[in-house]
């Protein structure tokens, strides 16, 4: 009897494992089947005479040139991809990438309809690379297909990677079932800092929290398959408008929702706002969603915010009387310097100017010896971080075309 029960239990466990494995193997990036590598491979064999599609999530550790990957083989000179260029040494073809911020995480893609050669290897280490790269890019995730994906398949893989790694695409976002979850044309104005709450079983994608600059959203319920909430902002400044009883943050968000309704908790990081209320005065902020106001609790959360299917508008307002505003008209009248004194040498200077202008910051020690300087482009709000290298009194000189201000800061 005991043997029969044990056999039954073993059979049940085997069945459950088989189902789990089946579900696991059914998943693919963006639901696009047939990948030959997915994750963090060291190398991958590629069949010659076929096409290839390679997707990499990368974040180089500096602005220098870093290797993403290279393809080599017995009868093929290397094809090399870095954060600054693509080099096809077989065809003597070099394509430089311009206007890309190589310090930011990005999705790098490569598609080739036919690669000839034997014993082809796609490698992700920089050893023996025939171009002068000085480091390896930090690989977040790699997806490889030994064929060329069509445009819809590419977009689905890129959507999966973008949501998984919080990279903003300059295209539409597509779920694994081809449904449109972010319409780039309609939401063009809000296509900055896109992040998402998402569940897509065919992609093994599940995220119940998103962060888009100063806003963090967290779902209050388990997500159903193909539930998506994507949020992007309009690129507005993190400062408030005109001096009135209620002022609005210039930055505004849109949330694109695929389910009928979803409740989320929203956290506002008011420490990043250019015009600060008292840090204890989070209750003076209001979150406005489709015209409905929400107030924050003592923990700083706007609870049970309702988002509906389609596009939702999210804004932040505040009590204008509690903003730290410039009342005298002086360029440096609205300025915070903290901590002063400092114990670890780190100091932050935040300045809200009456108009956009450039700022030069110079640092001197107590004896007047020049230590260094930074030059910031014209802006209305400047957020400057300094490090005082040792204990003592330092002089910081803040320079604009209209006014200069000297500050004494102590490290002890």
Mean confidence (pLDDT) of the chain:
83
Percent of the chain clearing pLDDT 90 (strictly above):
49
pLDDT of amino acid 4: 41
DSSP-assigned states of every residue in 157-225: HHHHHHHHHT---SS-EE-TTS-EEE-TTTTGGG-EEEEEEEEEGGGTEEESEEEETTEEEEESSPPPT
Question: Looking at per-residue confidence, does 224 or 95 come out higher?
Answer: 224
Per the CB < 8 A criterion, the answer to whether 172 and 183 are in contact is yes
Q: Is 13's pLDDT higher than 50?
A: no
Helix, coil or strand: residue 11: helix
Residue with tokens 């220098």: 64
pLDDT confidence bin for 137, thresholds 50/70/90: very low
- In angstroms, the CA 255 to CA 310 distance is 8
Task: With a cut of 90, say whether residue 101 has pLDDT above it.
Answer: no
Pick among 2.60.120, 3.10.450, 3.30.70, 3.40.190: CATH of 31-149: 2.60.120
Q: Which of 2-11, 117-126, 281-290 has the lowest mean pLDDT?
A: 2-11
pLDDT of residue 276: 57
Task: Taking the CA atoms of 180, 181, 187 and 193 in sequence, report the sign of the dihedral they define.
Answer: negative
What b-and-e string marks burial along 319-341, b requiring 16 or more CB atoms within 10 Å of the CB?
ebeebeebeeeebbebbebeeee
What average pLDDT score do residues 288-301 get?
90
Domain 335-411 -> CATH class: mainly beta
Residue scoring higher pLDDT (382 or 28): 28
Distance of alpha carbon 51 from alpha carbon 112, whole angstroms? 5
Residues 219-271: tens digit of each pLDDT = 999 999 999 999 999 998 887 876 567 888 889 999 999 999 999 999 998 77
Across residues 30-45, what is the average pLDDT? 88
Which tens digits make up the pLDDT trace of 79-90?
888 877 888 877
For residues 307 and 257, the answer to whether their CB atoms sit within 8 Å is yes
What are the φ and ψ backbone dihedral angles of 128, each rounded to 5 degrees?
A: 75, 15
C-alpha neighbours within 13 Å on the C-beta side of residue 189: 9
pLDDT tops 50 at residue 349: yes
Q: What residues does each domain of the chain span?
A: 31-149, 166-322, 335-411
Q: Is the per-residue pLDDT at 11 higher than 90? A: no
Q: What is the DSSP letter of 33?
A: -
- Confidence at residue 222, expressed as pLDDT on a 0 to 100 scale: 97
Q: State pLDDT tens for residues 154-213.
A: 999 999 999 999 999 999 999 999 999 999 999 999 999 999 999 999 999 999 999 998
């Amino acid at each position: 009897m005991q043997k029969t029960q044990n056999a039954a239990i073993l059979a049940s466990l085997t069945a459950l494992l088989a189902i789990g494995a089946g579900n696991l193997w059914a998943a693919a990036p963006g639901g696009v089947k047939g990948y030959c590598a997915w994750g963090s491979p060291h190398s991958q064999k590629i069949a010659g005479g076929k096409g290839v599609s390679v997707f990499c999530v990368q974040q180089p550790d500096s602005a220098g040139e870093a290797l993403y990957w290279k393809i080599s083989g017995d009868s093929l000179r290397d094809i090399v991809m870095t954060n600054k260029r693509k080099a096809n040494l077989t065809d003597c073809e070099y394509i430089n990438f311009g206007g890309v911020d190589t310090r930011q995480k990005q999705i790098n893609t490569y598609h080739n309809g036919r690669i000839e050669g034997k014993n082809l290897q796609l490698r992700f280490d920089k050893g023996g690379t025939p171009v002068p790269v000085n480091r390896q890019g930090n690989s977040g995730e790699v997806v490889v297909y030994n064929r060329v994906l069509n445009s819809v398949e590419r977009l689905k893989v890129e959507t999966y990677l973008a949501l998984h790694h919080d990279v903003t695409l300059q295209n539409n976002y597509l779920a694994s079932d081809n449904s449109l979850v972010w319409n780039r044309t309609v939401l063009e104005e809000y296509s900055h800092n896109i992040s998402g709450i998402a569940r897509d079983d065919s992609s093994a994608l599940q995220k119940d929290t998103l962060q888009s600059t100063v806003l963090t959203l967290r779902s209050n319920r388990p997500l159903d398959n193909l539930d998506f909430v994507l949020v992007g902002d309009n690129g507005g400044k993190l400062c408030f408008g005109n001096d009135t009883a209620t002022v609005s943050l210039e930055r505004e968000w849109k949330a694109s929702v695929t389910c009928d309704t979803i409740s989320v908790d929203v956290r506002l990081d008011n420490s990043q706002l250019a015009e600060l209320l008292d840090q204890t005065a989070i209750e003076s902020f209001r979150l406005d969603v489709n015209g409905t106001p929400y107030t924050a609790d003592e923990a700083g959360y706007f609870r049970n915010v309702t988002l509906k299917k389609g596009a939702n508008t999210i804004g932040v307002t505040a009590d204008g009387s509690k903003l730290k505003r410039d009342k005298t008209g002086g360029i440096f009248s609205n300025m915070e310097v903290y901590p002063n004194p400092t114990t670890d040498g780190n100091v932050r200077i935040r300045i809200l100017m009456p108009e956009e202008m450039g700022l030069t910051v110079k640092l001197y020690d107590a004896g007047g010896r020049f230590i260094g300087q930074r030059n910031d482009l014209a802006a209305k709000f400047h957020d400057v971080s300094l490090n005082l290298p040792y204990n003592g009194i330092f002089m910081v000189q803040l320079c604009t075309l209209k006014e200069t201000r000297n500050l004494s800061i102590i490290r002890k």
